[in-house]
Amino acid sequence: MALLLSLTLISGVAPTLAVPPPGADNARVITTWNEIAVNRITTNGTVTSPTNFNYFAFVHLAMYNAVVGITGEYEMYRWDKHAPTGASPEAAAAAAAHRIMVNYFGTTPAIVADLDAKLAASLALVPDGGAQDKGISYGVRAADNIIALRMNDGRNAAVTVPVADGPGDWSPTPPGNLPFSSAWLGGVTPIALISTTQFAPGPPPAIGTTQYNTDFAEVRDIGEVGSPRTQFQSETAKFYSDAGIFPMQAALRELATRRALDIDDSARMFAAVDTAIADGAGTVWNAKLQYMWWRPVTAIRASGLTTWTPYITTPPYPEWPSGLCSVVGATSRVLERLNGDGTVDLNITSGVTGAGPQPRHYTDRTTFTTEAVNARVWSGIHFRTADEVSIVIGTNVANYVLDNYFQPTN
């Protein structure tokens, strides 16, 4: 009855409860709610890549605070309200994630009912009683703190996008010729950074410079749909056209499970990775809007190759710098620092047909980042320097996040 009342208070809808099984895998709640969040967020029609990165981070920051505010293992993220004695961290994490998801994505009664049922399933793994009740209450408070911190943070703000008026300026690219997607992202208040210009990359190589000419010739010759790529190059281009969002989160879940991370370390890993990814994306989108640099397809067609077509369809935003490579730089650096052995140790499975053998295992950071950089060039959607610069952006953001947040308390 206490569980039923608690769920009703959270969302206003009373779910049907299953009989709780004995025992609980207390770390599984983190990966379970990551999967729930990713599935719900990525199927939401109004939140697309890369803006979903912020919401992944919100979910995991709420769960992180809900857990470490009880266990005391790590420093809390911008909150100092510790839990009452005896609160269940599993119940707190589930309630926190549920609260975030209902707040941002509970747009219909059916969605809320589904989230309530998933919360009930999580709480059924926690013994009923005072510990569960205290955990639920504390998890809701942890989520509400994140919601309050992120109010009026610039999401979905109106942004004026400059119109192309000369060589080097971005313009919508074929075949869709879509407008600049999520141009506002670079103005969103960072989660951990001081500002989205803190690790600004500076301008791209100017037209006519040696670096620009080298980058231009490379993507022109190997990035076209009919270029003579090797099978590995073509498979890798396709693999990374999908790897940055759903597959990356799935890989983190697999890593947490395979390494048997406890609830503190699992909560910390997801919070650190998704915070670094989100702030890296903000940094990248700030630069995209500032420099409005043209994509290879625009530059190459302007040179006279009017039918040149990239191997992978160009996404609808400026070229400089690379969003995907920032994700890879941030993720690989966080894992390298947190895994304890200096490895990345990540298994990623792409959902794209023709992406080659699955999954791909990345032991070291250099192999992972190099492959990501190459993939975007082989795809025909980026100049190499934009990719390399974004690996540095992601790395710098990750280091700042781990140097300033998610620290052990002892």
DSSP secondary structure, 257-310, as one string: HHTT--HHHHHHHHHHHHHHHHHHHHHHHHHHHHH-BPPHHHHHHHTT-TT--B
Domain limits of the chain? 2-8+21-149, 183-404
pLDDT grade, residue 150 (50/70/90)?
very high
Alpha-carbon distance 392 to 322, whole Å?
11
Element (H, E) at 339: none
Task: Quote the pLDDT of residue 45.
Answer: 64
Task: Quote the pLDDT of residue 357.
Answer: 87
For 344-400, what is each residue's pLDDT tens digit? 999 999 989 899 988 999 999 999 999 999 999 999 999 999 999 999 999 999 999
Class level of CATH domain 2-8+21-149: mainly alpha
Task: Quote the pLDDT of residue 25.
Answer: 54
Query: Residue 25 is encoded by which pair of tokens?
Result: 């895998």
Does the structure show a pLDDT above 50 at 4?
no
For 59-85, what is each residue's pLDDT tens digit? 999 999 999 999 999 999 999 999 999
Residue 318 corresponds to which amino acid?
Answer: P
For 90-103, what is each residue's pLDDT tens digit? 999 999 999 999 99
CB 379 within 8 A of CB 223: yes
* Domains 2-8+21-149 and 183-404 are alike in CATH topology: no
pLDDT (mean) for 290-313: 98
Task: Quote the pLDDT of residue 10.
Answer: 47
Alpha-carbon distance 206 to 208, whole Å?
6
pTM summary value: 0.93
When the candidates are 1.10.606.20, 1.20.1250.20, 3.30.390.50, 3.40.50.300, the CATH number that belongs to 183-404 is 1.10.606.20
Burial string for 125-144 (b: 16+ CB within 10 Å, else e) reads: bbbeeebbbbbbbbbbbbbe
Decide which of 204 and 245 is more confident: 204
Alpha-carbon distance 9 to 3, whole Å?
10
Task: Quote the pLDDT of residue 175.
Answer: 96
Write the DSSP symbol of residue 183. G
Does the structure show a pLDDT above 50 at 23?
no
As separate numbers, helices (DSSP H) first and strands (DSSP E) second, the chain gives 14, 2
Query: Residue 55 is encoded by which pair of tokens?
Result: 């919401």
What is the average pLDDT score of the chain?
92
For 89-137, what is each residue's pLDDT tens digit? 999 999 999 999 999 999 999 999 999 999 999 999 998 899 999 999 9
Does the structure show a pLDDT above 70 at 12?
no
Does the structure show a pLDDT above 60 at 22?
no
Write the DSSP symbol of residue 223. S
Percent of the residues in the chain that have a pLDDT greater than 90, as a whole number: 88
Cis peptide before 310 (omega within 30 of 0): no
Distance between the two ends of the chain, CA-based, in angstroms? 39
Decide which of 22 and 39 is more confident: 39
Does the structure show a pLDDT above 50 at 249?
yes
Query: Residue 160 is encoded by which pair of tokens?
Result: 């004026």
Alpha-carbon distance 155 to 247, whole Å?
24
CA-nearest of 341, 305, 285, 101 to 221 is: 305
Alpha-carbon distance 239 to 355, whole Å?
5
pLDDT grade, residue 49 (50/70/90)?
confident
Decide which of 11 and 300 is more confident: 300
Alpha-carbon distance 109 to 12, whole Å?
10
Alpha-carbon distance 282 to 337, whole Å?
22
- Burial category of 410 from C-beta neighbours within 10 Å (exposed 0-12, middle 13-18, buried 19 and up): exposed
